Structure 1
Amino acid sequence: MSETELEFQLVKTNGVTLHAVTAGPRNGPLVVLLHGFPEFWYGWRNQIKPLAEAGYRVLVPDQRGFNKSQKPEGIEHYTLDTLRDDVIGLIKLYNREKAHVIGHDWGGAVAWHLASTRPEYVETLIPINIPHPAIMPKAMLTIPLQWLRSSYMAFFQLPEWPEKLLSADHFEGMAKGIKFSASTGDAFTRDDLEKYKEAWAQPGAMTAMLNWYRAIRAGLPEGFAHPGKVTVPTRMIWGVNDPFLSRKLAKKSIEHCEDGTLTFVGEATHWVSHEQPEIVNQLIAKYLSNQVVVG
């Protein structure tokens, strides 16, 4: 989409400065799009315009540590509670009491945590290929081969070596990993991947991005061992051929929702919003239209 349709801003929330992209009518219902690892706001490029044209005020931050957003040093700045509070601050900053929150990968984990612990800020929760964070520890022990699929998370705990490996040859291996893990060759174009490389090359970005994983060492927030039901309307979208996460995780996650719907999307992987953008956009439009009338 043309950058002239977007507004680029630096905003302050929860003690950090985040780079954010906005689009759509200023008085429209707020939709917050939260990217995961190793993406940035650009990962939602296929969703921003349709949402804006449907009358929503779309807010897409580079989450802390990513791309042009601030990168605090130390893993203690990347806990789920802190990441959740970043989003709460953004909702307040844009003068809303609550928002529709859509998250993929780590962005979805933040969205789950926000809806689970501060539901008053969430109108609708749409997690995309990410289970409820409380599901993962048990899944590593009970779902065959999930520990193997998630073994990269253990590697990311090491100091310095992950940064060296991922940044080698100007992040070429990292870019190829994303491209080849997608179900279609055109899900990520060469131009797309060059934009990703530029984001990864920002000073301090790779360590800050990995600190999202390293902060797991601090343990999950209190209450995650026996989480209560998610009370906000939850509409999960899941690419069935995710190489990193078993679809069983999606089924177990939806069991934690009082008002939950799970939709599997065929011919798609972890990168479903890139591979099947029209289907994902149709599902999002359907889910949001059932919750609010845009006028």
Structure 2
Amino acid sequence: METNGRSMATDAEVGAAVPSAVDAESTRRRVNGIELHVVTAGDRADPLVVLLHGFPEYWYGWRTQIAPLVDAGYRVLAPDQRGYNRSEKPDGVRAYRTDELARDVVALIATEERDAAHVVGHDWGGVVAWEVACRFPGAVDRLAVVNAPHPTAYRRQLLANLEQLRRSWYAVCFQPPWLPEFACRYDEYRLLERALRETAATGTFTEADLARYRRAWSRDRALTGMLNWYRAAARDPPNPPIDRVAAPTLVVWGEDDTTLVPALAVDSAAFCTERRLEMLPGVSHWVPHEEPERLTELLLEHASGE
């Protein structure tokens, strides 16, 4: 179901971020009992690609991929996932379990009158993409994951690799109520801004980018919605019914990721029946921002079956 939810504010933001030639729109979709804000672009008859952002971003993290995908003949949906930016922010931690997030994606695909799509995810969006592929394999034509571990691979690394355990410490800090929200909001979201700037190559995130992110973070209950993804994962870790991925899968990994060890890329790809692994030396966790052209090239090759 698509609701009539276009607004001047979101249309202006989309128009400023995505080339006007692709005619991207800001829409609202009713999915899985909630309402998502979704940027759509491309012909409805074209093959469907769903782009899933991570923390602490929103649809804007995929802005440089939207136009090339449309130009190559794809229909693109880039949602603000639940809890983020202009999407609905349901109450309670349980509303942010990974299986619920995966159901959002399956329902979003259905709003296009499709049974399946090419699903692409970065960071937490990649975690959701893995969950969709494992829990609802019929909904995924092709899977592409950028710097996000397969749940079983991540669990094994946490148990066996002290370095990965050390790198995951920050997730513990997000577990208490209200205090993480206070810390993230303090001094104009300095903590979240540093989480972007200090883990990426110098100049990756511009002042204009950070201003957009601060607006997204400042929306009512957005911080709680975003942090509830971590809280839900700690209380109810991702555990799909199968761990083998049948869909052809592309795993792209910036090797200089400060939070995820490179071994996770290899371990994650091993769960895929048909796989391509692309390691990017000298690139951080923020591949869509640091290497947008290379990532777009890889996504297009993968989508076309090359």
TM-score (norm 1): 0.94
Distance 1:115 1:52 in 2: 23
Aligned to 1:35, which of 53, 56, 66?
53
1:217 aligns with 2:210: no
Paired residue for 2:296, among 274, 281, 290? 281
Partner SS state of residue 256, structure 1: coil
* Change in CA separation of 1:228 and 1:137 when aligned onto 2, cut-off 3 Å: closer
2: CA distance, partners of 1:279 / 1:144: 32
1:64 aligns with 2:82: yes
Q: Confirm or deny: 8 A CA contact 2:135 2:240 kept in the other structure.
A: no
| 2:276 corresponds to 1:261 | yes
Q: 1:206 to 1:3 in 2, by over 3 A?
A: farther
Length-normalised TM-score, structure 2 = 0.91
Give the whole-Å Cα distance in 1 for the aligned partners of 2:300 and 2:212.
Answer: 27
Please give the alpha-carbon distance, in whole angstroms, between the structure 1 residues aligned to 2:239 and 2:165.
23
Q: Assess, with a 3 A threshold, how the Cα gap between structure 1 residues 57 and 115 changes in structure 2: closer, same or farther.
A: same
Question: How far 1:3 moved relative to its partner?
Answer: 6.2
Letter in 2 for 1:30: L
127, 139, 154: which one aligns with 1:109: 127
The answer as to 2:267 corresponding to 1:252 is yes
Q: What SS does structure 1 have at the residue aligned with 2:197?
A: helix
Distance in 2 of aligned mates of 1:81 and 1:120: 15
Equivalent residue, structure 2, for 1:53: 71
Shift, 1:164, TM fit: 0.8
Match of 1:19 in 2: 37
TM-fit CA distance, 1:261: 1.2
Instruction: Determine if the alignment matches structure 1 residue 164 to structure 2 residue 164.
Output: no
Q: Deviations over 1:244-294 (max 9, x none)?
A: 000101111111111111101122110011001111111111111117xxx
Q: Which of 102, 112, 116 is equivalent to 1:98? A: 116
Shift of residue 144, structure 1, vs aligned partner: 3.1
Give the counterpart of 1:180 among 191, 198, 213: 198
1:134 equivalent to 2:117? Answer no
CA distance in 1, matches of 2:147, 2:156: 17
**1-10 or 246-255, larger mean C-alpha shift:** 1-10
Q: Partner of 1:235 in structure 2? A: 250
Deviations 1:40-73 (A, max 9, x none): 0000011111101111000000000000000001
Q: Does 1:204 align with 2:221?
A: yes
Question: Offset at 1:221?
Answer: 5.0
- The residue that corresponds to 2:12 in the other structure is none
Is 1:81–2:133 an aligned residue pair? no
Q: Distance in 2 between matches of 1:20 and 1:266?
A: 32
Equivalent-residue separation in structure 2 for 1:76 and 1:142 (angstroms): 28
CA spacing shift, 1:268–1:11, aligned 2, 3 Å: same
Hey, what does 2:14 align to over in structure 1? none
8 Å contact kept, 2:42–2:75: yes
Give the whole-Å Cα distance in 2 for the aligned partners of 1:188 and 1:9: 26
CA offset at residue 180 of structure 1? Answer: 1.8
Give the Å deviation of 1:222: 4.9
Total equivalences in the alignment: 288
Q: CA, structure 1 residues 69+260, in 2 after alignment: closer, same or farther (shift >3 Å)?
A: same
| Deviation of the 1:28 alpha carbon | 0.7
Indicate conservation of the 8 Å contact 2:134/2:240, yes or no.
no
- The aligned residue for residue 210 of structure 2 is 193
Q: CA separation in 1, counterparts of 2:129 and 2:243?
A: 15
Counterpart-to-counterpart distance in 2, 1:238 and 1:273: 11
Deviates more, 1:143-152 or 1:119-128: 143-152
Seq. identity, %: 43
Q: Give the alignment's Cα RMSD to 1 decimal.
A: 1.4
Deviations 1:106-146 (A, max 9, x none): 11011001001111010100000001022222211212311
> Aligned equivalents of 2:128 and 2:231: distance in 1?
15
